Amino acid sequence: MKVVDRFLQYVKYDTQSDELTNLTPSTPGQMTFAKERLLRELKSMNLSDISLDENGYLFATLPSNCDKPLPTIGFIAHLDTSPDMSGHRVKARVVNYQGGKIVLNEEQNIVLDPAQFPEIQDYVGQDIVVTDGTTLLGADDKAGIAEIITALEYLQEHPEIKHGNIRIGFNPDEEIGMGARLFDVEKFGADWAYTMDGGAVGELEYENFNAAVCKIEFKGLNVHPGSAKHKMINSIKVANQFALMLPRWETPEHTEGYEGFYHLISWEGTVERTVLTYIVRDHDRARFESRKRELEHLCRKTNYEFPGCATIEIKDQYYNMREKIEPVMHIVEVAERAMKNAGVTPVVQPIRGGTDGAQLSFKGLPCPNIFAGGMNMHGRYEYVPVPSMEKAMQTIVEICKIVAEEY
C-alpha cells in the first residue's frame, strides 16, 4: 500500500486527546485506532512481538534478516491529534498544487492562501493532502505512523535490503505532554530510536525547549463597591499588575530560534480570586531556571505590596534532550546521511516545543526527531505534501540500511 493511501485511511479515526480526563489514553478514539486498525494491520504483516497494553501503547518488531548482531533501532509516532481543533469526520482530499490559493471550503469561504502561508509555494507541482477546512488533518502524527508502517512493508517486500531488529512504537497523548509517561523503555528494547513527528521535509531535531508550567493564584477581598475604600483588594487588578511586570517582548509572538519566552495561556478571575497559568520555555537550562526564579521574585514583590495575596506553583514538564543526545551524536549523523541518501537536504534546527523523544531520551532511550511532512499543524489549514511523506518513508529505510552496513 502506498503511504498516502494508508494515511488517508488513518485520518478517518478521531483521536483527539483531552488533558481533562486524567485517563490513559485520554480519549477512547485512540484505543479504537490502535486496536481496530493498527493492531490488525501489524498482525497481517506477520510482525513479531506485537503488544497493545491497556494504556494504548502499541509495539511490534520487524525481525533482523542479517547474520551478524546489530543494534536494535526504533521508530516512534503518536496516535493522538491536537485538542486545539476537531478531528471528527476529517474530509481529506489530494490536490495537485499548481500555485495560488486553494479553496478548502467554498460554502464557508475557507481558503489556504499563500499570502498567509507562503511555505506552500515550495510545493508547487506536488500532490498535497488538505482538509475541507472544518477540521484539522491529522498529519501530526498519522503521517508518521503511515511512514513507519509503509517503510516496514517496503523492507519486507525487499529482503535483499539487510537490516537488524527494528522496533516500532505508537503511543497515546503526545499532544497533551503525556505520551512518554507510561512508555516502557525496557520493554521496547531499542538501543536508540527516532520519533517521526517533525514538520517540513528535511527537518532533523535533537534540541528542544526546557519546559515548565506555572500557576499563580491571587486572593482578593471583595467589599461592596460603595464602601470599598482602603478595604477592597481586586485580585483581577493585582494579577494584571503581575502580568505587566514580565518582559513585554519575551512572548511567543516576539521570539524565534533559541529565544525563550513566558506564555500566558489561561486567565480565570473574579474580585475574590484570580489564577494565571503560564508556560515557561527556554533552550538554555540556566536561562530556564532564571525564568522560573523571576516568576517567584515577582510573586514576592506582589506580596510585599499585598501581603499573602499571591501563591505560586511551578512544575517542570520536560528538558532539552540535547544533553542526552550529544554523547551519542552518531545517531544524528546516521539520520543526516540517510536523508541525503533519500535525496533530502537535512535541516538541523531546534524544536520550539517538545516531543516524546525528549522525555524518552531522559528515560534512557536517545530519540532525535525526524520530519513527517505536515505543515500548519493543529488547525484547519493543515496539509501534507505526498512527496514529503514518501521521503520520510525512504529515510527510515535508509537508516536501517546504514546501520546494517556499518555497525
E strand or H helix at 322: helix 322-325
Residues 6 or more apart in contact with residue 334 via CB below 8 angstroms: 399, 402, 403
Q: In which residue are the cell numbers 517533525 written? A: 198
- Half-sphere exposure of residue 219, counting CA atoms within 13 Å on the CB side? 7
> Which residues have a catalytic role annotated?
80, 174
Nearest to 204 by CA among 323, 80, 333, 365: 333
How far does CA 391 lie from the centroid of its chain? 20
CA distance 126 to 123: 6
8-state DSSP, 92: -
Query: In the beta sheet, which residues pair with residue 110?
Result: 105
- Separation of alpha carbons 259 and 278, rounded Å: 17
Paired sense of beta strands 48-52 and 58-62, if any = antiparallel
Q: Are 372 and 355 in contact (CB under 8 A)?
A: no
Q: Which helix (H) or strand (E) holds 166?
A: strand 166-171
Compute φ and ψ for 99, nearest 5 degrees.
Answer: 100, 165
Collapse the DSSP code of 402 into the 3-class scheme (helix H, G, I; strand E, B; otherwise coil) and give the result. Answer: helix
Q: Residue 168: phi, psi to the nearest 5?
A: -125, 145
Radius of gyration (C-alpha) of the chain in whole angstroms:
23
Signed CA dihedral, 207, 212, 213, 217: sign only: negative
Residue type at 148 in one-letter notation:
I
- Contact yes or no for 335/196 (Cβ under 8 A): no
Return the closest-CA partner of residue 294 out of 309, 310, 280, 308. Answer: 280
Instruction: Give CA–CA dist 217/276, Å, rounded.
Output: 7
Distances (CA, A) of 236 to 217, 246, 314: 10, 16, 20
